[in-house]
Structure 1
Amino acid sequence: MITVVVVVVVVVVVVVVVVVVVVVVVVVVVVVAVVVVVAVVVVVVVVVVVVVVVDLVVVVAAAVVGVVVVVAAAAVVVEAINKFVVDPNDNFKKSKKVTFTFVS
């Protein structure tokens, strides 16, 4: 009778240990999976932010270059018009001078 009780106790202890080990393994796997998912999400967010910031910098740089080119071209056109409209001999007193004002 004592042998049966000992065997039952040993079987119960082994089953409890196996169940505890399985639960611990499942918890560890779930935690690792969550960490991996969070890491992937963080990497994706960082990549998206970097791409958006780089695109924004490129767009702003292109806009600045465009404004500079337009202003320079307008200044060249105004200077060319002034050469034809303004008579250099009258010191701009009688002729009309074209001026350029850039308004943003």
Structure 2
Amino acid sequence: MTPTLTVADLDAIADRIRAELLPALLAELRPAPQRPRLSRGELADLLGVSVKTIRQRELAGLIPKPARCGRSVSWSRNEIDAWLASGAPRRSAWERARDRTEARL
């Protein structure tokens, strides 16, 4: 004899799936939180260039100035996102535009 499922049984199964499995599946689909600071390697990955190219662009004034902590450097993710959104201008042009924007606030 084959067991039959009632509508109530199917509803109970659906409720259990929603309660137990759906949150776990949604958690896997959510992107990982982004770190607020980027290392040279992370910035290189974001821009699709090598770490050596980041160092060269840093010395040439082509990217925003990093924050320094001892021998380590990092960039604000928010600043890099804003810099890229503005067309990735040279550091001097970026700093002037950023300073004008901050002065208006």
Query: TM-score, length-normalised on structure 1?
Result: 0.32
Structure of higher RCO (CA pairs closer than 8 Å, 6+ residues apart): 2
Q: Which structure's residues are more often helix, by fraction?
A: 1
Structure 1 or 2, whichever has the larger Rg, is 1
Query: TM-score, length-normalised on structure 2?
Result: 0.31
